[in-house]
Amino acid sequence: MQKHGSKARLEVAFGSSVGLGMWASQAMSRTLQEAFMAERHEQWMTRYGRTYKDAAEREMRLRIFRDNAFNKAGTRPYKLAINQFADLTNEEFRSSRNGYRMLSHGRTPKAAAFRYQNETAAPASIDWRKKGAVTAIKDQGQCDAKEGLCGIAMQASYPTA
């Protein structure tokens, strides 16, 4: 009977040790992840020149940054990059980027008329990526006609012969 009781106590002790070890490992892993993310946020702040008014705002922005960094959830069909917007919520980003601006001169410039050139020599298909016509996404901010960024970017993206 004595042997059976010690074996049971040994099994309980072993099970407890394993459970405690797993719990400690998870806690340590969480702490390391949080430290890594805080360091990554610091590097990001330096890169984009971001500062916050106090520790509370910094903590809030770190949480948003972390959520955006780990955004590949089943509810989102996209993945966000770590860029200058990484500490903004979706609502903050939308409100800073969406909004109609009236053209300053009230008229749109006349576009040159499009004319086909030698239709018979057109290939069946063209991979515009290989021709360099498809470029990376660029931040144009609050692009409007006054600065002409949209028109220039659009014109620059048209392929030339």
* pTM score: 0.47
pLDDT tens for 57-96 read 999 999 999 888 877 556 677 777 789 999 999 889 888 8
pLDDT tens for 143-155 read 665 555 555 555 5
Residues 55, 49: contact at Cβ < 8 Å? no
Residues in CB range of 138: below 8 A, 6 or more apart:
153
90: nearest Cα among 108, 75, 111, 106: 75
The region of weakest confidence among 21-25, 80-84, 99-103 is: 21-25
Buried b (16+ CB within 10 A) or exposed e, 64-89: bbbebbeeeeeeeeeebebeebbbbe
Residues 89, 64: contact at Cβ < 8 Å? yes
Residues 44, 86: contact at Cβ < 8 Å? yes
pLDDT given for residue 54 in this prediction? 95
The Cα 88–Cα 131 span in angstroms is 35
3-state SS class at 11: helix
Query: Which position has the token pair 């099994």?
Result: 11
